[in-house]
Amino acid sequence: MKYVSGLLIGIVVLLSACSGNNSTLKLDDKRFADTLFIQKVENGSPSEEKSKIVSDKDKIEKILTMVEGLNVEKTDNVLEKLKGEGNVYMLGFFEGKATPSKKGEYAFNLMENGTILFGLNTYDNQDSASITTEKHPELTKEIKQVLEIEF
């Protein structure tokens, strides 16, 4: 019995150590943003023709609610994660009006394959970027539908 108890404790410690970088995305205030700026990046190049500003607070809150609860892990290789992913939709959430020189309070990237990369400039001051532990292609499609992204 001592051996089994020791083995179980060892397994729990090992699993705890392995899952240290994983967490569930939590957003306390989903009503902070007044403006959502969307930019499509194709092959590493953004295009003004493929951008959109959304000011509907209900839609903005819905998008934040849709991504809340996703399992994420910390990542230091943000540029590596974006390389070779094809088209990426950058979503920047702003308090007040979005301007080119203003940094958004929160941001994330939707990749074509359903991976979502949460940026460095989050309103809760996370120290590094986080990436979903699983791909979510259906969620990506739903987000594009809610925001009426046709590019």
Quickly count: other Cβ atoms within 10 Å of residue 3's Cβ. 7
Cα-based distances in Å from 142 to 82, 139, 147, 148 = 21, 5, 9, 10
pLDDT at 8: 29
pLDDT at 79: 65
Give the rounded percent of residues in the chain with a pLDDT score beyond 90: 45
Closest by CA position to 37, among listed 53, 55, 49: 53
pLDDT digits (tens, 9 = 90+) for 3-22: 333 322 322 332 333 445 78
CA dihedral 99, 147, 128, 133 (to 10 degrees): -170
Quickly count: other Cβ atoms within 10 Å of residue 54's Cβ. 20
pLDDT at 3: 32
Quickly count: other Cβ atoms within 10 Å of residue 58's Cβ. 9
pLDDT at 149: 94
Q: Which residue has the tokens 């994420």?
A: 72
- Spatial separation of the C-alpha atoms in residues 54 and 57, rounded to whole Å: 8
**Which residues in the chain show pLDDT less than 70?**
1-20, 77-85, 99-101, 120-128
* End-to-end Cα spacing for the chain: 62
- Beta-carbon contacts of residue 99 (< 8 Å; ≥ 6 apart): none
pLDDT at 78: 67
- Residue 130, CB half-sphere, CA atoms under 13 Å: how many? 26
